[in-house]
Chain A
């Protein structure tokens, strides 16, 4: 914290206090300006006053020049302390400050405020437990949300009186798909360049540079294209879903929808889920193509492989299955991103801080799930021998 103290309030007369004792009578004389800029150093000074066993205490503030509520409190506190020590106390202040003191005397009887204590080792254990329970409950709730969305989706598709909100769907595809093309394309291209460079560098040692193309084609189509696209979209669209729905919660828009009788899952969740499930595979295909082009550019300059040679080698390395293995995962990733994004958005509480917190959580959760699911797919494919 910046230590820029110095309240610039002018103090004309510094505050002072002095104690006179005659046997069991104490006379406490307050003079000067008792304002907030003076109380900080007068507080310890007052604590040093020793009234001993005085039976009668006279607090004389009639010489006070200026007083505010902070200064008034110190006078009042001195009085109350003496009273609780069993003394008989009188308190005088200048006429114009009597009203302030009376108000404080009347209204203020509460003890000082206290703060929640800092928790030590026990607190750490407690929080670990709380966190674990929270994660479990979160998983349970997400599963519940998945069930609800599934049922509502089926209802929405089957029930003839309803129709899917097509404008919303098209809007979502545009928002999550079309506008993401530049960033996805750029990153896929750069990734293709990096991958080709690294592959060529290593394979050169075995004189197997040409296999850079195999490595690039298989690696990009099977894994990287889909994974990178999904992660970009989780950061881009998943977070947007949470923030949009969360802000609607803060503004009570969700509540308004419910009272009107709109189906939240149908109006808000379905267009996003379906939109992304359509958009992400297309984006992935786009990323695959641009990524390969990136690799092509790099191998051309680095290894001097011509475009026809590149194409010939690529054709030998990959087939339709290679592409499909990568693309089949995209709808699953899309579903997870949209579901988590909407789910976290629905959990936003009615304050602004909550939107930020849950948006972050939404992105982290969907990226975690994407990688976990990708690993599960890898195991599945290896068992199936694809």
Chain B
């Protein structure tokens, strides 16, 4: 958990980040701080580079310029070997879960454990069962293959894998997309509960305004290649037309008044 490095209360520090593909700029010198122990929601219209931002932080996308520091370590231009020190401290939940389809849910959860620790198989089996309970999956899901799971269960299993090494920082890419409202609300509650009990820092890309309201401490909005940070309350009164429409449109309004 929060062993070492308590001096700095910023988990991710982004400065002057520029991303672009084939001549078109997606992020134009953006700055962003994610504090330790907070849930930060990232929103933005389609194509504003929410996922690109997430992928840049975890090293799957190489920015054109700028600096990204995770736990004080610069990740832009970092060698894969150096990245490993960070990889054990974060977990990533991809949009569709990205579970390894040839392995059972239990084996999926044990992949990071097997890679990074030398626990006995029996201990890994106990821990896998514990992670499944934490994310609210029934015990019999352990033996199933990803193709046998529903969308919501895949996301829970993906979250269990992301939490396998008890990371300090968790990245969630659209965790509630494609879930029914009840499952989505349960997932929101789950994220919030786990965040509190495990003391996680959560970086969450989402479209779901209910999720934003229910789980996030702060919200970063990607708009016009820049980023604006605030809370639900402050962003409602923002002057930018997209942000205004997002939070005050019929859906946003309903979610905020509920």
- List residues of chain A with CB under 8 Å of any chain B CB: 1, 4-5, 7-12, 33, 35-37, 39-40, 43-44, 65-70, 73, 77, 96, 99-100, 102-104, 107-116, 349-353
Contact = CB atoms under 8 A, between A and B. Distances in A.
B118 A110 contact: no
Contacts, number: 121
A109 B133 CA distance: 8
Name the residue among A4, A70, A73 with the largest chain B CB count within 10 angstroms: A70
Nearest to A350: B147
Contact of A111 (B115, B127, B129, B136): B129
B117 A5 contact: yes
B231 interface: no
A12 B129 contact: no
Given A7-B88, A69-B166, A33 B134 contact: no
A36 B118 CA distance: 10
Contact of B125 (A66, A107, A114): A114
A7 B116 contact: yes
Interface residues on B, range: 35 or more
B106 A5 contact: no
B196 A9 contact: no
Contacts of A116: 104, 143
Contacts of B88: 7-9
B129 A352 contact: no
B1 A70 contact: no
Contacts of B125: 112-115
A340 B118 CA distance: 48
Interface string B128-151: 111111101001001100110000
A44 B120 contact: yes
Contacts of A1: 114
Name the residue among A35, A69, A103, A116 with the largest chain B CB count within 10 angstroms: A69
B159 to A, nearest CB: 13
A252 B102 CA distance: 22
Contact of A108 (B114, B117, B129, B165): B129
A251 to B, nearest CB: 14
B142 to A, nearest CB: 4
Contact of B134 (A11, A36, A104): A104
Interface of B: 1-4, 84-85, 88-89, 101-102, 104, 106-107, 114-120, 122-123, 125-134, 136, 139, 142-143, 146-147, 163, 165-166, 193, 196-199
Nearest to B1: A68
A9 B2 CA distance: 10
A112 B116 contact: no
Nearest to B165: A36
Contact of A68 (B106, B114, B198): B198
Which 8 A-B pairs rank lowest in CB-CB distance, beginning with the nearest?
A68-B166, A113-B142, A110-B139, A108-B133, A112-B125, A113-B106, A10-B4, A8-B85
B166 A77 contact: no
Contacts of A68: 1, 166, 198
Contacts of B2: 66
Contact of B3 (A5, A33, A107): A33
A84 B197 CA distance: 26
A103 B192 CA distance: 12
B4 A35 contact: no
A9 B85 CA distance: 7
A99 B197 contact: yes
A92 to B, nearest CB: 17
B132 A103 contact: no
6 contacts: A44-B120, A100-B197, A103-B197, A110-B129, A112-B122, A113-B142
A107 B127 contact: no
A116 B133 CA distance: 20
B1 A35 contact: yes
Contacts of B114: 1
B4 A12 contact: yes
B128 A107 contact: no
Contacts of A7: 88, 116-117, 165
B168 to A, nearest CB: 9
A8 to B, nearest CB: 4
Contacts of B123: 39-40, 43
Contact of B127 (A12, A70, A96): A70
B198 A100 contact: yes
Contacts of A109: 133
A70 B166 contact: yes
